[in-house]
Chain A
Amino acid sequence: MLPLTSRRVVLVTGKGGVGKTTVAASLAMASARAGKRVLLCETQGATRIPALFGKPGKGYEASQVAANLSTLSITPQEAIQEYVMLQLHFQRLYRMVFQNRVMGPFVDAVPGLHDLVQLGKVWFAERETENGRPRWDQIVVDAPATGHGLTMLGAPRAMMDLTRAGPFFENAQRIAEMVEDPGRTGLVLVAIPEEMPLRETEQLFDRLGPMRNLVGGVVLNEVRPLPVSDPAAWPADHEALLVGAGSELRATVAIVDAELDAASRTAGARTRLDRLGVPRVDLPFLFRRDLGRTEIESFAEVFARAS
């Protein structure tokens, strides 16, 4: 297991298209199977996760998709409403300001507010109790892609900077305390063995600065298997196969070559990610491209086995 078990909040980020949602769902599933009550949150109004489990979602409201595992989708609009009404205790204010046709768009445009209130929802979930104990043992967040993810992590500080006093300032400070505490919050970076996603992961790690201590692990997704068990012997086989070969055999050799290339990129990717000095877990490429509960469970198994 990645050293995340003790963290109440796990944020998953990476370049667009690398499988953040898959990784978030699998990590959540691994914790749920280990007996934790887990809340899995999508952000920016994304609603992909319930379908992965073959269930209808309930949007902003938590709905159970597997044993010990519930999911919800955070939209900035609903998060703002909850933030102002429940966290700042300003019911009247919400109606006056945010539902005001004139003021609404203006306050809505306050820089960083959307990112802040989405983290605010996570903070709120972390503190929720049920029968006198925390409602959720762990909250896994499918966070926005790298650049935006970093902005989101910095949103509480940005709000503190902007407001400098007042209830927004104080609340942002409490959220900053959660996000910046490596005992409470862990970050998982997802990459695939390709140049740009790797570079973005390295850059993100770099730009995290003092928040680097939050990174609990990296996941190398879409790792392709070696097409031949002895790659060193392949060049000779390749030559032999091409002697007098027709189009089918030439196409076949090209496919094996391409898969070998992909495998060698994987080796390079491992070396680069390991330089970050955080634990790494590899997940296999799914040739059938199907992603559902079965695949999530098998990935959860990989996370559970990784030590």
Chain B
Amino acid sequence: MSAAKVILVCGSGGVGKTTLSAALALRLAEEGKRVLVLTIDPARRLADALGVGELDNEPRRVPTERGELRALMLDSKRTFDDLVVKNAPSPEVRDRILGNHYYRFVSERLPGVHEYMAMERLLSLLMAEDADVIVLDTPPTRHALDFLAAPDRMSGLMDEGVMRWLVLPATASGWRMLEMGSDVLAGVLKRLLGPTTIADIAEFFSGFQSLWGGFRERSLAVRKLLRAPGTHFLLVTAPAPGARAEAIAFLEVLQKDAMPFSGFLINRCAVPAPAVLPWPAAPDHRTAEEWAHVREEVTTALERRRALTGAQDRAIGDLLAHAPSGSPAWRIPDQPTDVHDLASLRRLGVALHDCGAVDAILGAG
């Protein structure tokens, strides 16, 4: 297993996790590190931001001035397929699972499966790839909670007790046993979901039984990884009043499960307006009256900016008042243009460095 530092960039939707992950990864690379960045965002935004087009579940080199940056986009379905292929005891079992109706739903749509596969992919990268740092972009908070819980939930779901119940019906004697103990239950499930669904599900679980050990082992490895000393959780949030509740909820989950929190990245902070406005004499192209009007409009723009930064300061103060004392909070200034190419990512990386976040992360553990 590689000794790479793992940085998980978390936060609710729309706060800029994907962009910040990419900028952080680029900055770390250009500080001389070998960096791998994995996005699990289904909107495929990192690919756009890095300008590398379609990513395909395998790391691709991104051109950098120094260091080494490789990026990949999680393909959750393919990761699940790979896991089945790797763990199946025989080609027959493998094909039976991959061709199963219920498996297709599980691998594509089961809530939390995307998150679980992200952790699985992270683990396989750690095992197979040589890197100093792995940066992981994550889905929005509600899902991020899922993804933190995913390894535990999967190993719980795959618990043997559950297994016995699920696999038994696949055989005639299983149905009989189930019906003997609780005939209503089996009948009810058949009535509820239709007989074919139950058969599909039973077939899936019976095929899956032989993969259990491998899955369970990896779930436990992920669980351990999330609590390892080289793992850092960064929480991205907006400097707005509505952002606090979700950020604090997420932080509480981290702390409850003893996962290491590194600090808040307060993204897109507006630059404060100057306290005074020294106004020069009217230039040649303006009458005194016109110039006074321009001054009035500019004054209004500054007042609006002060209202905005005032609200921002209150929101950040409020967030920190609800967070454990001493929680680091780095303010990332709002970028003048949309960040969607390497040049603007690089500028954002400089901002991440200037606010102290990069050194704090590199310096720690």
Contacts and interface: CB of A to CB of B under 8 A. Distances in A.
Interface of A: 15-18, 44, 48, 84, 88, 90, 92-93, 96-97, 100, 102-103, 105-107, 109-112, 114, 145-147, 151, 158, 162-169, 194-197, 200, 203, 227-229, 236-237, 240-241, 243-249, 251-252, 254-259, 261, 265, 287-291
25 contacts: A17-B13, A93-B188, A96-B185, A97-B192, A105-B162, A146-B43, A162-B101, A164-B194, A164-B196, A167-B191, A168-B192, A168-B193, A168-B194, A196-B43, A237-B294, A240-B280, A243-B283, A244-B280, A248-B276, A251-B271, A251-B273, A252-B273, A255-B271, A289-B315, A290-B241
Interface stretch (B57-65, B105-113, B129-137, B217-225): B105-113
Interface in B270-315: 271, 273-278, 280, 283, 285-286, 294, 297-298, 300-302, 304-305, 307-308, 310-312, 315
A252 B308 contact: no
Contacts of B182: 96
Contacts of A166: 190-195, 197
Given A15-B13, A237-B294, A251-B271, A111 B140 contact: no
Contact of A17 (B238, B245, B286): B238
B156 A289 contact: no
B110 A93 contact: no
Most-contacted residue by chain B among A44, A162, A259 (CB, 10 A): A162
Contact of B298 (A169, A244, A252): A252
Contact of A249 (B193, B277, B297): B277
B110 A17 contact: no
Nearest to A14: B14
Contact of A106 (B166, B310, B315): B166
B198 to A, nearest CB: 10
A168 B21 CA distance: 42
Interface in B68-89: none
A157 to B, nearest CB: 12
A90 B271 contact: no
A288 B197 CA distance: 53
A195 to B, nearest CB: 5
B149 interface: no
Contacts of A164: 194, 196-197
B165 interface: yes
A105 B285 contact: no
A109 B111 contact: yes
B194 A48 contact: no
B109 A158 contact: yes
A169 B190 CA distance: 12
Contact residues of B: prevailing secondary structure: helix
Contacts of B280: 240-241, 243-245, 249
A88 B192 CA distance: 9
B14 A15 contact: yes
B278 A246 contact: yes
A237 B285 CA distance: 8
The list of the 9 closest CB pairs from A to B, nearest first, reads A16-B13, A17-B14, A240-B283, A16-B14, A248-B274, A289-B311, A166-B194, A111-B105, A227-B301
B307 A240 contact: no
Interface of B: 12-15, 42-43, 45, 101-102, 105-106, 109-111, 140, 142, 153, 156-157, 161-162, 165-166, 182, 184-185, 188-197, 238, 240-242, 245, 271, 273-278, 280, 283, 285-286, 294, 297-298, 300-302, 304-305, 307-308, 310-312, 315, 334, 336-338, 340
B13 A145 contact: yes
Contacts of B12: 16-17
Contact of B157 (A84, A109, A147, A195): A109
A252 B165 contact: no
Nearest to B140: A16
Given A145-B14, A236-B283, 19 more contacts: A15-B14, A17-B13, A102-B161, A105-B162, A106-B166, A162-B101, A164-B196, A166-B194, A167-B191, A167-B192, A168-B192, A240-B285, A248-B277, A248-B278, A255-B271, A255-B301, A259-B301, A261-B336, A287-B304
B45 to A, nearest CB: 6
B164 to A, nearest CB: 9
A93 B109 CA distance: 25
A251 B192 CA distance: 65
Nearest to B282: A240
A194 B338 contact: yes
Most-contacted residue by chain A among B102, B162, B242, B285 (CB, 10 A): B242
Contact of B286 (A15, A167, A240, A257): A240
Nearest to A76: B111
Contacts of B311: 287-290
A111 to B, nearest CB: 4
A109 B14 contact: no
A252 B274 contact: yes
Most-contacted residue by chain A among B194, B308, B340 (CB, 10 A): B194
Contacts of A168: 192-194
A100 B190 CA distance: 16
A207 B131 CA distance: 37
A110 B294 CA distance: 62
A85 to B, nearest CB: 13
Contacts of A254: 271
A147 B188 CA distance: 33
A28 to B, nearest CB: 18
A93 B185 CA distance: 8
Most-contacted residue by chain B among A90, A103, A166 (CB, 10 A): A166
B344 to A, nearest CB: 11
Nearest to A239: B283
Given A287-B307, A288-B311, A289-B311, A163 B197 contact: yes
B242 A252 contact: no
A165 B196 contact: yes
